Chain A
Amino acid sequence: MSQETTSAKGIVELRVPADPAYLAVLRTTTAVLAARLDFTLDEIEDLRIAIDEAGAVLLSHADRSGTVLCRLHIDGDTLVAEVSAQTIDGFAPARDTFAWTVLSALADDVQATASDDRTVAIVLRKRRGGSGAA
């Protein structure tokens, strides 16, 4: 089952099983949070898709007995989403895929990092109030 906690600093963490069935939970939670933070409908839709793509990329290499952690917080006008999972090989996500193309087009910034313990994290940022705005 999923669990959700909110700290006083407005950080939301959601941990779900590393199973495609739970991607919808990540999408919905992110959308609800973005709506509460006054993101526009278009921006919310972009985030819904971007989080899904990040989760799908991680699931393609994830240890399926593990979990996917989605950590969301707001930094000024930017929603920062860090999606991470324990993977079987500590892979670096390929950039020449539809998933990465969609992810990088919908987020303002995307980065992937791998730790020594083969945890891979995709960090995406989405600015409120329209991409390209100052």
Chain B
Amino acid sequence: VEFDVKITSETPLAWVTVAGEVDVYTADALREALREAEADSKQIIVDLLEVNFLDSTGIGVLVGSLKRLREGGGDLHLVVTQPSVLKVLRITSLDRVFQVHADLDEARSAAEAGASGADKASR
């Protein structure tokens, strides 16, 4: 299965850039990458622009990371434009739970605002 994930630290935030297909087979690698990113950042942006397939297992991994981050006062931001990925988020009503952004700059601004505590009111 075509899949790649990389972490870029940009204190105080971290980017997790994912490409390819996220399913039961590849979800573990995504989970590991997110845990690694969580170790030094509370604001994480998951760039899913190059993800052409995401199933409920992948969604579950993202939800797990979101919960851990929010418990620690952080947040997980998704960057998604792929219609099928947006559809799965909508079906599970998680488009209202995650901060979903259409481009990287918007996600960066939201994460930076989160890092300085300025987005508390928006929840």
A residues engaging B (CB < 8 A)? 20-21, 23-24, 27, 42, 45, 48-49, 52-53, 56, 59, 97-99, 101-102, 105-106
Contact = CB atoms under 8 A, between A and B. Distances in A.
A53 B56 CA distance: 7
B25 A24 contact: yes
Interface of B: 1, 21, 23-25, 53, 55-57, 59-60, 83-84, 87-88, 91-92
Contacts of A27: 53
Contacts of B24: 20, 23, 56, 59
Nearest to A50: B55
Nearest to B24: A20
Contacts of A23: 1, 23-25
B30 to A, nearest CB: 13
A101 B91 contact: yes
B88 A49 contact: yes
Given A21-B1, A24-B1, A45-B84, A102 B25 contact: no
Contacts of B53: 27, 48-49, 52
Contacts of B25: 20-21, 23-24
A23 B58 CA distance: 14
B68 to A, nearest CB: 18
A24 B84 contact: no
B60 A20 contact: no
A24 B55 contact: no
Contact of B55 (A21, A42, A102, A105): A102
Given A20-B23, A20-B25, A56-B24, A101 B55 contact: no
Nearest to A42: B83
Contacts of A105: 91
Contacts of B84: 45, 48-49
